[in-house]
Amino acid sequence: MFAHHFASLLSRAELQTFTQLVPSACPLSRPFVDLSWIDIQAPFLLRSCLSMSTILVADDDRMTRQLLQRCLSTAGHKVVVASNGLEALNLMNEQSVDLVLMDMNMPELDGWTAACKINVEFENRVPVVAVTSYGLPADKARAATAGCKSFITKPIDLRILLLTVADALKPHPK
């Protein structure tokens, strides 16, 4: 049910573009993105969304922003988007945000620098999750040094995305 609803949000053209961009996640032979696993984990995921969170998605790639926005909106979150780190910082100063999903390689102000600034300006109260195609251990260490609480690699596995978001939003002991 949940998976069907999510798949119906994507137009055929978007799905075709997505399958071309992320062939390992969605082979071209399949007519839609398989999200049947969401039904199995829906109770867990929905518990994390009962109090609708505001998530800022900062990524310079329009398709990635749209995919993340639709996935997170369908999971019950309010999503605001930015196309670079500077825009993300400006949005955070204008409205309250519970979580930031930050691409690390963006124009104007990269994600590494933006994550550092967010942690300083907001005193580590807003978790930042690095979303990047850089997946080496050194990149994970760099993200941690920048203040990112978690790390997701592209192409984005929607299961990992939703589980990471749920984990980042739950209160952690200090």
pLDDT reported for residue 55: 97
The set of residues, in sequence order, having a beta carbon less than 8 Å from that of 84 and lying 6+ positions away, is 58, 60, 106, 107, 108, 109
pLDDT reported for residue 174: 57
Per-residue pLDDT of the chain (174 residues; tens, 9 = 90+): 333 444 444 444 444 444 443 333 333 333 334 444 444 445 445 444 445 899 999 999 999 999 999 999 998 899 999 999 999 999 999 999 999 999 999 989 999 999 999 999 998 899 999 998 888 899 899 999 999 999 999 999 998 999 999 999 987 665
pLDDT reported for residue 103: 95
Helix axes 2-9, 62-74, angle to 10 degrees: 150
**pTM to 2 decimals?**
0.72
Rg of the Cα trace of the chain? 16
pLDDT reported for residue 126: 95
Q: Which domains does the chain have, with CATH numbers?
A: 2-169 (3.40.50.2300)
How is 71-136 classified by DSSP, letter by letter? Answer: HHHHTT-EEEEESSHHHHHHHHHHS--SEEEEESS-SSS-HHHHHHHHHHHTTT-S-EEEEES--S
